[in-house]
Chains A and B, each alone.
Chain A
């Protein structure tokens, strides 16, 4: 058990609890805040795993932008702020399915990568430079496609969400 592992375990625990809280919170804003914690923990995990660029991008984009977006969405849709049940009638069924998924995945993981055999990988050097190179050399076409996608999403969101003139609201 290395130091990173310990740190990781702590961060993972916090993140897990936060994730469960997201999906079980009674207050939507609380759920959004718990989401922040979960996303942060994921970002820290990335850092711990040696993917610093991805980690910071995660924190930047997700925590910085997407959660804000969620909060705006909640505000605009007059999300019920208060102690209201936010679960629908499938709560039990969903729980069962969730547990089953978790069980299945864990079973799969432990059968494929048993903890006893797992070896501790050596520390990785910084990857940003390498990542940049690979991104802009090997994967430049998907990169361009993704930027196009973002443009389409931008335009689409504006088109969808604006109010048409003369249309009764």
Chain B
């Protein structure tokens, strides 16, 4: 019902936005949000193909992606909180102990 290329372009757009967010945001939580965008882009892609190919397999995979994304967000935020506790800042620019 919906033509595949449109879905894919949407997915690409979401992904690119996520890439920009990962690279350009200063707040660690913002970076995590951008990662969520990227994951969602992947999900859109999968479901789009599932509709096109009339196969339910990709949807199973989508569920898994969602589950994993949830786990990842949980752990990620826990790390951010730890980071905040140690450094009183979640500015990723300031996390550069491995600098030369």
Taking residues whose C-beta sits less than 8 angstroms from the other chain, chain B's interface range is: 35 or more
**Min C-beta distance of A94 to chain B, whole Å:** 3
Complex CA distance for A78 and B85, rounded to whole angstroms: 11
Most buried by A among B25, B44, B50, B52: B25
Kindly identify, within residues 136 to 169 of chain A, every residue whose CB is under 8 Å from any CB belonging to chain B. 138-139, 142-143, 146, 149-150, 152-154, 156-158, 160-161, 169
Per-residue CB contact flags for chain B residues 15-38 toward chain A (1 = under 8 Å, else 0) read 111111111111111101110110
Q: Is the interface of B mostly helix, strand, loop or mixed?
A: helix
CB distance B70 to A94 under 8 Å?
A: no
Kindly identify, within residues 51 to 71 of chain A, every residue whose CB is under 8 Å from any CB belonging to chain B. 51, 53-54, 57-58, 61-62, 65-66, 69-70
CB distance B10 to A146 under 8 Å?
A: no
**Min C-beta distance of B80 to chain A, whole Å:** 6
23 contacts between A and B (CB under 8 A): A4-B1, A5-B1, A9-B6, A15-B10, A20-B17, A42-B43, A57-B63, A58-B43, A66-B36, A73-B81, A76-B81, A76-B84, A89-B93, A94-B22, A102-B13, A105-B8, A106-B12, A115-B6, A120-B3, A121-B51, A124-B54, A156-B74, A157-B77
Chain B residues packing against A (C-beta within 8 Å): 1-10, 12-30, 32-34, 36-37, 40, 43-44, 47-48, 50-52, 54, 56-57, 59-60, 62-64, 66-75, 77-82, 84-85, 90, 92-93
